[in-house]
Chain A
Amino acid sequence: MPFKDKLFRLAKRLLTSTEEAEDALQEVLLKLWVNKGKITAYRSVEAFAVTTTRNYCLDRLRSKQASNLKLAHSNYTDEASSLQRQVEARDSVSLMHKIMQGLPEQQKMVLQLRDVEQYEFEEIGDMLEMNPASVRVALSRARKAVREELIKKHNYGVG
C-alpha cells in the first residue's frame, strides 16, 4: 500500500508513541481490508484511509482520556531535568517536536497533512470532513501557533 507510511505518520502524530501508531495502523488496514467493497465507492481511497485513521486515533485518545490512562510514549522526556532541556533546546528539531506535541489535535492534523504530506486543501478537506476554506484557516492558525511557540522558546533559551 503506497500511503501506508502516511497513515502511520498521522497515527504517530496523534498518538505520540511508535508502538501505539503501529497498532493503529494494523487496525486501520484491517478495517480497510474488511470494507474494501465500500472503498471503491469513495472518491479517493487515500482520503478514506486517512479519515479512518483519524477517527481511530481520536477514538483511542478519547477512550484513554475517559479511562484516565496516560499515553505511554517512549520519546517523551521529563522537563524536570534541566540538563536534558538545555541539550534539547540546542537541538531545534526536537524542540519543534515538543511544540507540535503541545498543539490541539486539529492543528496537529492539518500541519501533518499539509506541511509533512503536502496534500492539497481539497484533499485535506475530504480527509478531515471540512471545507477547503476552513482547512486554510486552521492551517494558518496552526502555523502561527508554531511560530509563536518557537519565538517564545527561542527567547527563553537565549535570555
Chain B
Amino acid sequence: MELDNIERYLEKYFEGSSSIAEEKALQDYFAGAEEHIAPHLREYAPVFRYFSRSRDETSTREIRIGTGRRKKHVYGWLSAAAVVAIAAGIWFSGYTSRDKEAEARLAYEETVQALYMIGENLNKGTARMEYLEEFDQTKKRILPERELQ
C-alpha cells in the first residue's frame, strides 16, 4: 500500500507535479534503512538523501551587518560637519568677496581721480601751447623773408 503511494509520488516527482508534502514523504521513505527500500527503487535513494543532506549545510563565517549601522552613524556626523564647513565657507567667501568689491571700487575711484588730474594738467599744458603758437605767428609776421629763404 505504502509502496504504491511511493511509486505514484515518484512518477509525479519526475513530471514536476508532486506537492511539497508528497516530496517530503519521498525524502522520508528514502532516508530509511536500505533494506526497507524496495530493491527496484534503491537507485533513486541517492537523489533524495542528497537533497535532505544539502539542507543541513550552513554558513560558518560570521557576517556582521551591524558595522553598517555604525557607518551610517558616522555618515550622520560627517554630513553635519560638512554642512557646517560649507556654511562657514559660503559665509567667509561672501565676506571676502564683498571686501574685495569695496577694494576694487576704491581702486577704480582713485584711478578715475588720477586720470582727471592728468587730464587737467594736460589741458593746462595745451593752454600754454596757445601762447607758443601766438609767438610763432608773430615771428612769421616779423620775419617773413628769412623764413622763406
Contact = CB atoms under 8 A, between A and B. Distances in A.
A139 interface: yes
Interface in B61-98: 61, 63, 65, 68
Interface string A91-107: 01101110010000000
B59 A8 contact: yes
A120 B15 CA distance: 15
A151 B24 CA distance: 23
B51 A140 contact: no
Contacts of A96: 46-47, 49-50
Contacts of B128: none
Contact of B61 (A22, A111, A112, A147): A22
Given A96-B50, A140-B14, A116 B55 contact: yes
B43 interface: yes
A150 B43 CA distance: 8
A139 B20 CA distance: 13
Nearest to B20: A118
B45 interface: yes
Contact of B45 (A12, A92, A100): A92
B57 A30 contact: no
B59 A120 contact: no
Given A26-B63, A143-B14, 20 more contacts: A4-B59, A8-B59, A25-B63, A30-B65, A92-B49, A92-B50, A93-B46, A96-B49, A96-B50, A97-B50, A116-B54, A118-B23, A136-B16, A136-B17, A139-B16, A140-B14, A140-B15, A143-B16, A150-B46, A150-B47
Given A5-B58, A29-B63, A147 B50 contact: no
Contact of B49 (A4, A93, A120, A137): A93
A146 interface: yes
A144 interface: yes
A114 B46 CA distance: 16
Interface of A: 4-5, 8-9, 12, 21-22, 25-26, 29-30, 33-34, 92-93, 95-97, 100, 111-112, 114-118, 120, 136-137, 139-140, 143-144, 146-147, 150-151, 154
B29 interface: no
B31 to A, nearest CB: 12
B58 A8 contact: yes
Contact of B47 (A30, A118, A137, A147): A147
29 contacts: A5-B59, A8-B57, A8-B59, A9-B57, A12-B57, A21-B59, A25-B59, A92-B46, A93-B46, A93-B49, A95-B46, A96-B49, A97-B50, A100-B50, A111-B51, A114-B23, A115-B23, A115-B51, A116-B51, A118-B20, A136-B16, A140-B14, A140-B15, A143-B13, A143-B16, A147-B14, A147-B44, A151-B43, A154-B43
